[in-house]
Amino acid sequence: MILSLGNASEKVIEKIRQNLSSRGLENTLVKCAKTTLVVITSDADSLPGHVFSQMDGVQKVVRLSNRSPLGKDSAQTVVTLSPANSNSGLVQLGGGLPPIVVSGPCAIEGREQIIELAHEVKAAGAVALRGGAYKPRTSAYDFQGLGLDGLKYMKEAGLQAGLPVVSEVVSIEQIEPSSPYLDVFQVGARNMYNYELLKELGRQRKPVLLKRGMSATIDELLQAAEYILLEGNLQVILCERGIRTFENRTRNTLDLSAVPVIKSLTSLPVMVDPSHAVGKRDLIASMSRAAIACGADGLIIESHCTPDKSISDAAQAIEPSTLAAIVNDMNTIYAALNPGAALNAMDKTKAKNEISNEAVTISKSSARTLAGAPGS
């Protein structure tokens, strides 16, 4: 059960929570952008609704038939990534905004590698940099990442290129030391069921990219997101990355039907990871186009300056030039499906160009005046 309190004062909130506790009802406080919620986690079905609706400060009582209520009604429709530096703008996704691309290597291999690639993916049209520093691998003998040093390299690369950075943490202990170097915490497919990790990430104030488990249902993904939301972090991004089926021609089976289904059940942004889904670089572009066509809010794609030499998952890494073509296709498909939004974007670009041209003209005129040149 959820009690909606609007903009109730701290005194009113505390009184309500004490009332609930006196009845033996465990509860959690969730502060959203426009309201405050008290989520009753104990079984309250035996109590009539008026017991709660008559409490001072309670505006609305919702009995939960939906197992992921916060994702549906209270989460942030648009998630904002902090700007990488003072010269870069905000990166936003969700809420009908144009889709974005996040790209970078499967694994951070070294300082020079990640800095070079950061500039390349930025030039290709990516708006955020991804890279693995802590790599949970199926084999204990595979490369498992550079750890904190890798995150430091990637943060430096992001600052230089003007890109916020995304990387996975695989344990609670990694969150605090990693936080200064990350703009988005990623939860990989293997950790979707790590509920203690999800709870701790819910106590952070940075966005969380939550990947669907390789054998998880859609409802299980949504309920995993609730663990983060319930702790107060409403900046959650869901990611479809393929599920395990009997098909072995591709690494996994990309369940694109999940995108519109998830978007019908939650207000959270939904991204697609075609790299891990298919595991073959020649299929990445076509699956990326399909993902945007079915409504994905963005793509997260593995790239490498020399893909065949990638230490990790070389078969699915693409070159920056291929990434640029995917970004172009993405924008074309989005414009075709959303002509009004595309027109507004064109108008804004035109206006910015006109302002820029006017500034250049004024600057040239001022320069001639100061120099006393002919035509001043």
pTM given for the model = 0.79
Our measurement of the distance from residue 324's CA atom to the centroid of its chain's CA atoms, rounded to an integer in Å, reads 21
Give tens-digit pLDDT for 239-250: 999 999 999 999
Q: What is the pLDDT of residues 25-52, one digit of tens each?
A: 998 888 876 678 898 888 887 788 888 8
Q: If pLDDT is split at 50, 70 and 90, which confidence band does 191 have?
A: very high
Whether 23 and 46 have beta carbons less than 8 Å apart is answered as: no
CATH class of 78-321: alpha beta
What distances in angstroms separate CA 217 from CA 263, 265, 279, one per listed residue? 15, 13, 21
Q: Residues with Cβ < 8 Å from 309, sequence gap 6 or more?
A: none
The answer, yes or no, to whether residue 230 has pLDDT greater than 90, is no
Using left for φ > 0, alpha for ψ between -120 and 50, and beta otherwise, residue 90 falls in beta
Task: Return d(Cα 155, Cα 103) in angstroms, integer.
Answer: 14
Distance between CA atoms of residues 68 and 71, nearest Å:
6
Residue 364, pLDDT above cutoff 60: no
pLDDT of the residue at 33: 63
DSSP string, 277-334: HH--HHHHHHHHHHHHHTT-SEEEEEB-SSGGG-SS-GGG-B-HHHHHHHHHHHHHHH
CATH dotted code for 2-65: 3.30.70.1140
d(CA 140, CA 132): 16
CA angle 49, 51, 53 (to 5 degrees): 65
Which residues are paired to 92 by β-bridges?
Answer: 80
66 pLDDT band (50/70/90 cuts)?
Answer: low
Radius of gyration of the chain (CA): 23
Mean pLDDT of the chain: 87
Please name which of 138, 161, 150 lies closest in space to residue 107, comparing C-alpha atoms.
150
Cα 269 to Cα 266: distance, rounded to the nearest angstrom: 8
- Per-residue pLDDT averaged across 140-160, rounded? 90
Domain residue extents for the chain:
2-65, 78-321, 338-376
DSSP 8-state symbol, 360: H
Of all residues in the chain, what percent carry a pLDDT higher than 90? Answer: 65
The type of residue at 147 is G
- Tell me the pLDDT band of 53, cut-offs 50, 70 and 90: confident
Partners of 300 in the β-ladder: 102
Which contiguous run of DSSP H or E holds residue 123? Answer: helix 111-124
